Amino acid sequence: MRRAGLTLVELLVVISITAFLAALLFPAFHSSREQARATACQANVWQLAFALHAYEGDNQSLPYGFGGPGKTPPPGGYPGNATIDPAGWWWFNFIGSVRYKSLRDMNALRCPSRRIEGAKLKRDILCGNYGANRSLCKSLVNGPPGNEFEGTPLSVAAIRRPGSTLLVMDSGYSLICWWHAAKEPPVTFGDSIQDAAYVPGLEINKQKIVWPGQDQDAIDGRHPNQTVNIAFADSHVERWKASDLLVEKTEDGERNYSPLWSPD
């Protein structure tokens, strides 16, 4: 009588088939997980845009990108790392005082696809999550007049094409502008942590200096096919290829046609 069970050859065949099936299914599982994270990120971006619009409805303008009421810290304390980030109120602190109890409750600020390495940056909420467009959420004047990103924040009504103008998006830093998507930016990329904003996955990031730990996020991107989630000034959300946000030099200066970094 033959004893029940598998022979060594049969066992090896089963193991080989199992390994083959696992090799086929793992990429699909990985892709599905990435898509789920990208969808969760898209929901975060929409939630932030909704809160920005709620603030604008109450105050007739968007919040400051950076600035604050004196030296009073925002709810939950000053965000960021005290050694590299300026202390003050950021755009999400203003909407947080309306929609959230404290900074710790603002889970929508954390991109689930974030690819930041190193303890210093990984703990920094300002790095590698979402950035508001500095052309709309301007900062308090902190230098000589003429800086296009300083002054009074805009209202949505003052934006000529809100359905095409960037409001908040996947970003290397909490504030981002067209400078960070230009082949020839008017500032040296990476001189300070604030200047190290970037569009994740944008091709020109390979030639730019990023902070240690930002390389994978900046160069490889976060979402499938090097896409980024964007909320526009009319609050609708879309996913675009990072390459579509590139600002190219023309005879009239730097220009990006769609989507729009500038409100005019």
Quick: pLDDT tens for 119-139.
Answer: 888 889 999 999 999 999 999
With residue 166 as reference, give the H or E element that holds it.
Answer: strand 166-170
Tell me the range of 15-24, 66-75, 164-173 where mean pLDDT is highest: 164-173
**Domain residue extents for the chain:** 8-255
Mean pLDDT value of segment 232-254: 87
CA torsion, ordered 61, 64, 65, 71, to nearest 10 deg: -160
Instruction: Report the pLDDT value the prediction gives residue 192, as an integer from 0 to 100.
Output: 62
CA distance 43 to 33: 15
User: What confidence category does residue 74 fall into, taking pLDDT thresholds of 50, 70 and 90?
Assistant: confident
Residue 64 in tokens: 């400051």
pLDDT at 5 (0 to 100): 58
Which residues pair with residue 139 across a beta bridge?
A: 150
Please, are residues 112 and 40 in contact by the beta-carbon 8 Å criterion?
A: yes
Three-state SS letters, 200-258: CCCHHHHHCCCCCCCHHHHHCCCEHHHEEEEEECCCCEEEEEHHHHCEEEECCEEECCC
